[in-house]
Amino acid sequence: MDYGYIKVAALTPKIKVADCEYNADRIIELIDEAEDNKAKIAVFPELCITGYTCSDLFLQRVMLDAAIEATMKIANHTRCKDMVVMVGLPFAWQGKLYNVAVVINNGEILGIIPKANIPNYSEFYEARHFTKGESGVVLANFGGVSVPFGTNILFKCVDVEGLSIAVEICEDLWVPMPPSISHAMAGATLICNLSASDETTGKDVYRRDLIKGQSARLVCGYIYASAGEGESSTDLVFSGHNIIAENGSVLGESLRFNNQSVYSEVDLDRIDSERRRMSTFIGPSIAVLDEYVQVEFEINNNDTLLTRQIDKAPFVPSNEVLRFARCEEIFNIQALGLKKRLEHTSAKSAVIGISGGLDSTLALLVIKRAFDMLDIAPENIIAVTMPGFGTTDRTYQNAIKLIECIGATLKEISIAEAVLRHFDDIGHDKNVHDVTYENSQARQRTLLLMDIANKYNGLVIGTGDMSELALGWATYNGDHMSMYGVNVSVPKTLVRHLVKFYADTCGVEKLKNTLLDILDTPVSPELLPPKNGKISQKTEDFVGPYELHDFFLYYILRFGYRPKKVYFLAQNAFAGIYDDATILKWLKVFYRRFFSQQFKRSCLPDGPKVGSVAVSPRGDLRMPSDACSTLWQKELDEIG
């Protein structure tokens, strides 16, 4: 099953200028290579049949005829190959010469696309030879066959859902209004660019950014194949800079000056999902579609193998420099959100419960930054530690050290006596360690925090993170509730990195050591009695590993992927870490809890969005609290 992926290739043959037969043979070799690599779309450079640097030889009839013959040879070679191939050549039609891309599938010429923007500056003098392609589509004779000819052609695959291909040529991308804009508006999901971009110092960076930006702006896949070694070096050098991009990300990029083939898989599901959720993406209209001719083709995509890397921590940048910058940015977003709320309410203090765990630690660090922005002394942070039946000495000591390092005002209130009295009131046996036993403690803590906030004219700052909210791992009207939640859109895997970032940059040895020990402490609500003085209740033993749940959360909410695809991606990302049965077990748990616990997310306190995924009922996740998970669970049951 292809799971929405289509394997594509950008290929640069080593050519000989004006030797069409030689060049066709080199292209055929690369087509065979692409077939061996299971590529379904193979894109070659601009004018690769003749060479881009033929200059006035483009006006010679013998070479133009040889280019047609070479193209037909290539087309014949593609018979019974499950692939779409695009090659560039000069094409004479009705007394004019055009720089064109020919699209081939299973021995058939599907269409001819002329270059729409002909450069006539500096080192490029294409206007000396070529005529600008027009947007209308007509039929042209190519090797004795009548073929659609024009810029506005879409190639739609009847076998692969969401695969609609359009073509532009080199300079077309570099102009203010590239043809790919209207192509995407007409429904194209994959843009193929046959190019011959010469190499000058620093141009590769601009070229890469241009391709990334266009794929992001158009929410599409973009294949860029450029001319390389073999072109004339009379005045220019071509590096064969091939790039495959998808919605702003580079999936594959060649080494320059190497004629290197590049392969990757474009995720058509992702493109479709992004376009559906973007109300500003202008999709196909009758007026736009009327300007296009749609050509259908067939390929079998069932043998696609995934080679692109699937990051097991999608919320956390793998690059250390980028991760450092991201953490700093998120801290500022969280702190600025809280700063505004404190200013608006004229709050004199911030009240927070400190457990010695990760989430409350991060929230306290955010409060400290917000107070610094407001030039408020840290002693106006009322940090409350509330030991109960499950509190261990390790978390208790870390909470005290953390509060002291920050300079907050410490309040210690044991909840044990009040909770026992509450058990008597409601008739609960203190020896029965059930959900009542646990949640009574969480709600007692929230009651204390709320009343302390009233006493000190402050706001209770929530500590719960997005992963807990996705799973419903929060006590309703307990730790679920606050007056402003700074962590509500921060997943657990990212919480760890934010605390580590603060530890590495705080410059205070005692604070750093305390934060590192907190990072090393098992995640736990500490609502059940310890065993031998150590934490007995480990969250991940009950709900599953947060790294898996954050992975599921990202792909389910960000792209709306179906359960089978999420499972498939997790298998790839966590190969060698979790076996298939473990992944499936926790994926079923995620879906079950995600649907059943929506009522908690439906009444979340305010809090700042920091990334592309959030669960606020006022923004990213507007979901009925009583929606059925039947469809999703049924598909999971089909897996095993």
Nearest to 64 by CA among 90, 44, 99, 102: 90
Confidence of residue 125 (pLDDT cuts 50, 70, 90): confident
Residues 328 and 256 in one domain: no
Residues 132 and 164 in one domain: yes
Residue-level pLDDT at 305: 86
Q: What's the rounded mean pLDDT across residues 529-552?
A: 86
Q: What's the rounded mean pLDDT across residues 12-21?
A: 98
Residues 343 and 273 in one domain: no
448, two tokens? 């204390």
Asked if the structure places residue 305 within a domain, the reply is no
Residues 47 and 115 in one domain: yes
For residue 46, indicate whether it is catalytic.
yes
Scored b (16 or more CB within 10 A) or e, 197-214 reads: bbbeeeebeebbebbbeb
Nearest to 140 by CA among 112, 98, 108: 112
Determine how many CB atoms are found less than 10 A away from the CB of residue 6.
25
What CATH number has the domain bearing residue 151? 3.60.110.10
Residue-level pLDDT at 123: 62
Task: Give SS3 for 258.
Answer: coil
Residues 205 and 338 in one domain: no
Q: What does the alpha-carbon distance between residue 8 and residue 160 come to, in Å, rounded to a whole number?
A: 13
Among candidate residues 297, 332, 362, the one where a domain is terminated = 297
The per-residue pLDDT for range 250-266, each reduced to its tens digit, is 999 999 999 999 999 99
Asked if the structure places residue 497 within a domain, the reply is yes
What CATH number has the domain bearing residue 335? 3.40.50.620
> Contact 287/72 with Cβ under 8 angstroms?
no
163, two tokens? 């695969």
What Rg value do the Cα atoms of the chain yield, rounded? 30
Task: Give SS3 for 314.
Answer: coil
Asked if the structure places residue 427 within a domain, the reply is yes
Among candidate residues 234, 266, 297, the one where a domain is terminated = 297
Asked if the structure places residue 311 within a domain, the reply is no
For residue 20, indicate whether it is catalytic.
no
Q: What does the alpha-carbon distance between residue 134 and residue 132 come to, in Å, rounded to a whole number?
A: 6
Residues 332 and 266 in one domain: no
Residue-level pLDDT at 302: 85
Catalytic site residue from 7, 40, 115, 492: 115
Question: Rounded to the nearest 5°, which phi and psi values hold at 124?
Answer: -105, 125
Measured N-to-C along each axis, helices 393-406 and 358-374 cross at an angle, to the nearest 10 degrees, of 10
For residue 199, indicate whether it is catalytic.
no
Amino acid at 452: I
Confidence of residue 2 (pLDDT cuts 50, 70, 90): confident
The per-residue pLDDT for range 53-107, each reduced to its tens digit, is 999 999 999 999 999 999 999 999 999 999 999 999 999 999 999 999 999 999 9
Confidence of residue 356 (pLDDT cuts 50, 70, 90): very high
Residues 276 and 362 in one domain: no
DSSP code, position 550: H
Asked if the structure places residue 224 within a domain, the reply is yes
Nearest to 611 by CA among 544, 569, 550, 545: 550
Residue-level pLDDT at 227: 97
Question: Cα–chain-centroid distance for residue 480?
Answer: 29
Asked if the structure places residue 303 within a domain, the reply is no
> Contact 46/194 with Cβ under 8 angstroms?
yes
- Pairing type for strands 293-297 and 153-157 reads parallel
Catalytic site residue from 20, 48, 170, 192: 170
Catalytic site residue from 46, 468, 526, 547: 46
Among candidate residues 254, 282, 297, the one where a domain is terminated = 297
DSSP code, position 87: E
Residues 263 and 381 in one domain: no
The CA-atom distances, in angstroms, between 519 and each of 212, 314, 462, 494, 588 are 36, 20, 19, 12, 28
Range of the domain at 585: 320-639
Residues 499 and 466 in one domain: yes
Mean pLDDT lowest among 273-287, 355-369, 410-424: 273-287
Given strand 138-142, what is the order of strands in its sheet?
A: 138-142, 145-149, 108-114, 96-105, 84-93, 41-43, 5-10, 262-267
Which residue spans within 472-619 are E strands per DSSP?
484-485
Residue of 534 and 175 predicted with greater confidence: 175
Give me the DSSP letters along 426-479: HT--TT--SHHHHHHHHHHHHHHHHHHHHHTTEEEEE---HHHHHHT-S-TTTT
Q: What's the rounded mean pLDDT across residues 120-127?
A: 75
Determine how many CB atoms are found less than 10 A away from the CB of residue 30.
21
pLDDT at 1 over 60: no
- Pairing type for strands 243-246 and 221-226 reads antiparallel
Asked if the structure places residue 68 within a domain, the reply is yes
Domains in the chain: how many in total? 2
Confidence of residue 122 (pLDDT cuts 50, 70, 90): low
Q: What does the alpha-carbon distance between residue 124 and residue 98 come to, in Å, rounded to a whole number?
A: 15
What is the average pLDDT score of the chain?
Answer: 95
Task: Give SS3 for 165.
Answer: strand
Residues 246 and 285 in one domain: yes
Asked if the structure places residue 313 within a domain, the reply is no
pLDDT at 124 over 70: no
Residue-level pLDDT at 75: 98
Residues 267 and 385 in one domain: no
Residues 32 and 179 in one domain: yes
Strand partners, 6: 266
